[in-house]
Every structure is written in C-alpha cells, then in structure tokens.
Structure 1
Amino acid sequence: MSLQSVPFSKISEAEVQRLLDYGVGESVRLDYKRQNYGTSESDRKEFLKDVSSMANTLGGDLIIGVSETDGLPQSISPLVGDSDKEVQRLEQIAITGLEPRIRNLEIRPIPLAAGGYLILVRVPRSYLAPHRVILVNSARFYARAGTTTYEPNVDQLRQMFTATPLIADKIKAFHTDRLIRITANETPVAMNAAGKFVIHVVPIPAFTGSSMMDLIARLSVGTHVPVPPDEVGQLTRQSVNLDGYLNYTRNSSSRDARTAYAQFFRNGVIEGVADLRTDDGTSSRLVGAPFVRLVVDNVKQYLATADHYDMGLPAYVFLSLCNASNTVYRYPIPGGGFQESDPFGREIIALPEIYIDSFDVDVATAMRPAFNVLWNAFGHYHCDVYDADGKIREAVND
C-alpha cells in the first residue's frame, strides 16, 4: 500500500491514517518526517537532500508531520502555523536550491480534523537527472536506496547522467519505427495510399521500465479512450490487438470518408493516424484551419487520456506526415478562392517534438512551433491559422 496510486489533489487525512493503520513503512518512494524543516542552512539542505534523492531515483512522497520509529509510522504530529506560507517557503527552497530545477514538484498542506495540518511533498521521478544541491555553494548529488539516502559514487553518477539520453534514444527509435511502418501501410486498419498525418503522445515513463500495464483491464473500468483523429464524425469500432487497444473509424463510399484510428499501446503511448483529404486516393491535400483544429483537439484528448490513466509526465508530442510525396497545402488567397503549393516530395515529414510537462498546458500554443515548421516545408513563413497574438483564428475560410 502507498499513496502513489492516489491523485495528489485527492490525498486527505484518511489516506495518511491508513498508512499508519497498516503499518506502511518507509521505502524508496515513501519517507516520514515528524517536524517541518527549519530555516537554518542545515535544515534547508536536508530538505533539498531528501527531495533530490527521490527525484534522482524513482520519485516518491514525503509526508511531514508523521513520527516514525525504525521507518515505521507511529503517530500524526500536527504542524501548526500558516500552512500556505510554509508550503511557499519549501517551494522557494526547491526552486533556488537545486540544479536543474525539478519539474512538477508538488507541495500542499493536508488539514487535520483535530486541528493543525500535515505537508505532503510529491516528488516526480526526474528525466533531467541528476539534480544537485547548490544551496550556499554546495554541489552534492544524492540518490535513494530503500530507506537510505546516499551520495552516488563516480560510476553511479555516470549512469545517472547517461540514463536520460538512453531514454531519448529509445523514444526516437520507437517513433522512427512507427513512421516507417505507417508509410509501408503496416497499419492496424487498411488506409489509403495517399498522405496520412500521425500524432504520437509519448509519456516518458513509458520507456523507463520493461513492464507493461494491464491496459485492457484498466480500460474496462475507465471512462477515457483515445479517439481517432477523424474530422467527419464517422462511426467508430473498438477492438483489442497485440499492441493494446484500437479505436477506428468505419470507411464508407463517401468521398469525404477517410480512415482514421487511435492505437493505445500497452506501455501508455497513444498513436493517432488519419488519411488526409484526397480525390483520387493517391494524391492528398492539407487544408490549414481544419487540420490545425483537428490536431489540437486530438492532442488535448490524448493528454487527457494519459492523465486519466496516470501515465505520467513529462511527455513528448510528435506530429508527422507519412506518404507525403504527393501532398500539397491548399490555402485561401485574397479576394476569394484557393491556391495549392507544390507537392512536398518526401515520403515522411517528422516535425520537431513538443515537450509537455503539465496536463494543464495550452495545447494550441504549445503546438504552434510544429505547425510553423510544417508550413515552412510548404514554402510559407509561418502557420497562418494563428493570429498575431498566437491564438487560433476563430473565423478562417476553410
């Protein structure tokens, strides 16, 4: 039993009390502190040591206001004073005392029915590790093994510094492999030979371990499933396959009906693929405003799905085109009507990845650099679907 399965905002006194009732001891991902960290230099360094050691290892929860003996929780020791100020003080210590800064560090008070409060610090596993304590000319690294915090030796530090690039290489290899397979029409449902656009939402935790979640069991009791990036609103079908869960549209004889699917991989990666608009099934066109809106809406939905199933952050969002050699960009011209660019001429367009470190991100703003590069590929200086303030235009001639 731990708090890791409980959303941070939902943890209350009851969840902490259950840890005491069941005698859940300290571990690599759980630590108890009876008193809050003081204001002295040594106390601040101790807080930074505890936080960075978790971030450099597997992440975890630090509960301030619970006494322990030999790692086993004994009782709640309520903290007193201004809880908001104490949270802000700890946040400031973490911001100024660690290099690099730990993204998504969460700290909040837990009010107690009898008065007083606890402080919960949720430390994410970091993918920018190792973090070092730099308070007052310090330059120390820490990690955690069991209930012990220690300073890594040279070999261990070397492993920590190389772990993040290795994860990035795994993600890059996965992404490249998927684009090659999609271009070769090795897709879970049959698609046109013309251009396709591809969305990948890749939570970095998906590539930090070898285990796979029981995706189908979780989906059976969940309320979120990734939806195909289909702008027409066709009926969908669902099935399971070797890779996980598949949600796809039913193709029809309508000229505007295009196949689309969303593949939810067992490790938490979501892949959305759809045919671009086509008249003959071999050439295709990209129409700016509907395309941008469709991509943004689906990225939002995929991130919400990843959040719902606690896939973790940070994540990368990739936007790509496959079978794009005969794909053109159709855009409106002053005075009315449309004009088309020359065909792209390459089979695969892999746009720069977008780094997401919060589920509350403004997706339209975050995705704009990728759209700008895509518009550059068709000879335009920037994506004209955005206005001067960086917002998607409300009224664009589609």
Structure 2
Amino acid sequence: MSIFHKSLSNWSIADVNLLIESETEESQFLDYKRDLPDKSDGKKKEFLYDICSFANASGGLIVYGISEKIVEGSKTNKPGAIEGISTDPSEELNRLNQIISAGITPRINGIESKILRFENSWVLIYRINKSWNSPHMVSLEGINKFYTRNQTGKVLMDYNQIQSSFINGEQLTKRSTSFCNERADLIGKGVTPIPLLGTRRLIIHILPLGAFHNQTFSIQTLKSDNNNLMPINAQFNNPYTKINLDGICRYENHKHNYGYVQVFRSGIHEFVDGYVIDPNANNDFTFVDAIGSAISQSLDSSFKNIERLGIFDPVVVQIQLQSVRNRKLYYSSRGSIDERHFDRDTVFIPNIVIEDRKWETRMGDLMDPICQSAGYEKCHYIQADGTYKVDKTPQ
C-alpha cells in the first residue's frame, strides 16, 4: 500500500524516514516544512493558504520538521533530514487548529494530525482530505483568497477555477443522490446481485466522494483482506463472495438470502437487508433496535473497509426503507406498545456527509428521521453526543 493511502493513525517515525530514504519529492499531494508557522500575520496567512490549497485540490500531507535537501546550493524539492520541532507540539497543534477554525470559510472538516517523537524533538503531520464543499477561502484579517495546488505547489485560483469548484461541489451532491435513487429503484424491482426473500428492504449506501472522480479498484484489491465486511445480521464469519461486473457481492446462503453487501469498483458500499424490516411474516411491526443495530454494523464494517482501501475522502451516507407503509415501529425495551406506524411506502433519509470518519456521533442524524417518519419525536436511543445506545426505556 502506498504511504499516501495509509491511515495517519498508523504512521510512525519509520514512515517519515521512508519518505527521506526514497527521496519522495514534494508534489501536489505532499509538502515538507522545516519549521512551524510562527505567530506573525504573514506566516499565519501562508499556513492557511497551504491548508486551503490541499482541500480545494485533491488533498494531501504537510510534514513539519523536515529540511529540504540542497545540492550544490540549489533546492531539490526532496526531503533532507528530520530536523524536528523543539517546541511543545500539543500547544502548537492547538494554536494552529485555532488559526484554521478562525481563518478559513467555509470550515474544513476532517483535517487529521499526528505528532511523532524523534529523539529529543517532534514531527507534526497534517492530512487534509479533498473537501466536498469547496472552494474554501482564506478570510483572515481582510484577506479573501482562494488557493489550490498543482505539481509545483500552491497557486492562487482564478475566476474560472473558483466557479468550476462551486459547480463541481453541487454536481457531487446531485450525482451521489442520483446513484442512490437509481440503485434503490432497481432493488425495488428485484434487480439485485443475488435473489432475495421478501419485498421490504433496508437499503444503506456508503459513498466515498472519490467514487465520482474516476476512483477505481481491482477485483483482487476488493477481495483481499475484507473479512470484516459482512452482510447485515450475518450468522457466520465466512460469507460467500461473488464476483460481478460492478465489483464483489458478499452474502451468506446460496439459496435463501434476505440481504447482501455489494462493494463497487469505485469504493461505494451497498447494504441491503429485508429481515430487519420484516423479521416475521406473521407480524406487522419493525423494531427500532434492529434498524439501529443494522445501520451501526454497516457503517462500522464499511468504514473499516474504506480505510483498508486507502480512501480518505468524505463519505456520503444515504438510507432508504422500502415497502413500509402502515408498518408499526416499536422499541423493544418498552413495556407497552404504541400504535405508531410509517405513513408512506418509501422512507428517504436525508443524505449526511461524514468527513472525519467518526460515524458514531452522527447516528442521531440517521435514526431521528427514521423514528420521526413513524410518528416519534426523535429516536430515544440517541445519546447527548449523537451516538446510539440501547440502554434505557424511551420516554
């Protein structure tokens, strides 16, 4: 795996040394800095220009504490040595993050950082992912500038680039919504990678935005080391894997299936399940607990797989429930049964964008609309921090 596709949480000083030993040059995706920006206005602005340029382009890494290799008095754009940062990295990181929060519009989410110890000093690494809501503007002390990146580094965006960036952002939203709706329409008509039992469906799409920028993976890459990728409510740890034109499909039984997970060559994940919605053909109710568990399981396994594939783009999550009109929605922890039911055949949950991979704190954005569509004020299993936990009887 390329070091650029390695999760920053897994980086060590050995990875920094690898950049130096391999003489990995600065590029559109990589920038070396000997020193952290000081507290002067000029350095703050240059720092913000760097951050914005990566977010407005294709994302990348800034590595602080690395000197540039000099050959015969000329710069080479190659790393020289680890010089390290001598000041307290935690305090410096807090200062820089405050500069980012105050000086960039709109806010850039999903910026990651990692502090690495090197002898008696430190190396600080920033990963800035490609933003889904670009262009971002540096707006510090009266400055209003847009920057992007090319192979030579950061460059000021012209009018046409700024306009194009706005349009591309709008198109990403439309394309992701269009993909989900087209897939849901096919699933509703029974056009699925494998035959499914029943007609009611929970459909969950997890779409890395890089999927709409010609991102593609080989079948071998999709198949390898994906044991954590399981269909919803899988009973066994070794589901079948079926290769198809779109990518791979994982399911449990050759003859009787309620669901599957399809991973597209673009990195999009599609979870479909019918048992969660209709666990017993003789009953007309669905449990909130079952839906919440299914969504949590799907997000957990797909985000792990997305990280394995080296995808760090923002991710769109879209959920639909099919054929649920008049079906009652219950909390299994209640002592009494409310007569609350879905009032429409198909429930569309508004798309959410997750930029920092912390899907756990976004469960309320998914579960509240589901419960509201059946007449509840909110999902009572959502905690104050937005996480989902079945730990009390709803009030």
> How high is the TM-score relative to the length of structure 2?
0.86
Deviations 1:107-163 (A, max 9, x none): 3332223x3222222221111211111121111111111123221111111011111
Partner of 2:261: 262
Cα distance, 1:173 vs structure 2: 0.8
| DSSP 3-state at the match of 2:62 | strand
Distance 1:244 1:371 in 2: 29
Sort the Cα spacing of 1:233 and 1:368 in 2 relative to 1 into closer, same or farther, 3 A. farther
Determine if the alignment matches structure 1 residue 112 to structure 2 residue 108. Answer: no
Determine if the alignment matches structure 1 residue 192 to structure 2 residue 188. Answer: no
| DSSP 3-state at the match of 2:324 | coil
Determine if the alignment matches structure 1 residue 367 to structure 2 residue 363. Answer: yes
Cα distance, 1:266 vs structure 2: 1.3
Kindly indicate whether the alpha-carbon contact (under 8 Å) linking 1:128 and 1:164 is maintained by their aligned counterparts in 2: yes
Deviations 1:344-368 (A, max 9, x none): 452x3211123322333425xx233
Q: Which amino acid aligns with 1:219?
A: K
Sort the Cα spacing of 1:62 and 1:197 in 2 relative to 1 into closer, same or farther, 3 A. same
Q: Which amino acid aligns with 2:278?
A: R
Partner of 1:74: 80
| DSSP 3-state at the match of 1:261 | strand
Distance 1:335 1:96 in 2: 46
User: How many residue pairs are counted as aligned between the two chains?
Assistant: 385
CA RMSD of aligned residues (A): 3.1
Kindly indicate whether the alpha-carbon contact (under 8 Å) linking 2:320 and 2:347 is maintained by their aligned counterparts in 1: yes
Kindly indicate whether the alpha-carbon contact (under 8 Å) linking 1:307 and 1:359 is maintained by their aligned counterparts in 2: no
Partner of 2:348: 350
Partner of 2:216: 212
Structure 1 unaligned blocks of 5 or more: none
Kindly indicate whether the alpha-carbon contact (under 8 Å) linking 2:148 and 2:155 is maintained by their aligned counterparts in 1: yes
| DSSP 3-state at the match of 1:61 | strand
Cα distance, 1:17 vs structure 2: 2.3
Deviations 1:61-101 (A, max 9, x none): 11222222131223332332222222222222212121122
Cα distance, 1:384 vs structure 2: 5.1
Determine if the alignment matches structure 1 residue 382 to structure 2 residue 378. Answer: yes
| DSSP 3-state at the match of 2:4 | coil
Sort the Cα spacing of 1:187 and 1:72 in 2 relative to 1 into closer, same or farther, 3 A. same
Kindly indicate whether the alpha-carbon contact (under 8 Å) linking 1:54 and 1:143 is maintained by their aligned counterparts in 2: yes
Partner of 1:290: 290
Cα distance, 1:174 vs structure 2: 0.4
Among 212, 222, 230, the residue aligned to 2:233:
230
Partner of 2:71: none
> How high is the TM-score relative to the length of structure 1?
0.85
Sort the Cα spacing of 1:3 and 1:278 in 2 relative to 1 into closer, same or farther, 3 A. closer
Q: Percent identity?
A: 24
Deviations 1:251-297 (A, max 9, x none): 77xxxx8611111111111111111326559x964233333323333
Partner of 1:7: 7
Partner of 1:97: 103
Q: Which amino acid aligns with 1:315?
A: V
Distance 1:269 1:157 in 2: 28
Sort the Cα spacing of 1:292 and 1:31 in 2 relative to 1 into closer, same or farther, 3 A. closer
Range with greater deviation from structure 2 (71-80 or 388-397)? 388-397
| DSSP 3-state at the match of 1:353 | strand
